[in-house]
Amino acid sequence: MSAGLSHFDESGQAVMVDVAAKPVTARSATARARVVMQRATLDLILAGGAKKGDVLGVARLAGIMAAKRTADLIPLCHPLPLDSVAVDLVPAPPEAVDITATVRTTGRTGVEMEALTAASIAALTVYDMCKAVDRGMRVEGLRLVAKSGGKSGDFRQE
């Protein structure tokens, strides 16, 4: 293995991690992101005035759908049966939307990538739906804030 990185074999080739010997356990992960925008853009979202519709509702669905497709997007990710995906988008006046995605499964590998994918795609969907009025929006702070289950145990950060 290359410097402790699990997705490389002894010769440095990328490989999918073999999880067959791992026990099945309850696992969860939570990721966060923020979309920073002009105050007028957040006001438009809150007033329901975006031309493409309900920005926060569509972004929530996009995040959920993205979590379910993570293995199609990240080359060495295991396809996992997800028990639940929750994506919350909360206005953070005067000029941001905070996104939290929590994913749960019972399996042999964790769901950190699914949570990160859900948060990032929800953020990109907010951008897509509002770019006509605010091309200067920024997606910031994408990060894993919590995970539980598995051999490495619990992890928490804010």
The half-sphere exposure of 84 on its side-chain side, counting CA atoms within 13 A, is 10
Cα angle at 111 between 68 and 121, to 5 degrees? Answer: 50
Annotated catalytic residue 9: no
Q: From CA 145, how far away is CA 126, in angstroms rounded?
A: 21
Helices (H), the chain: 39-47, 55-68, 70-73, 112-130
Which one is catalytic: 83, 88, 98, 128? 128
Active-site amino acid positions: 128
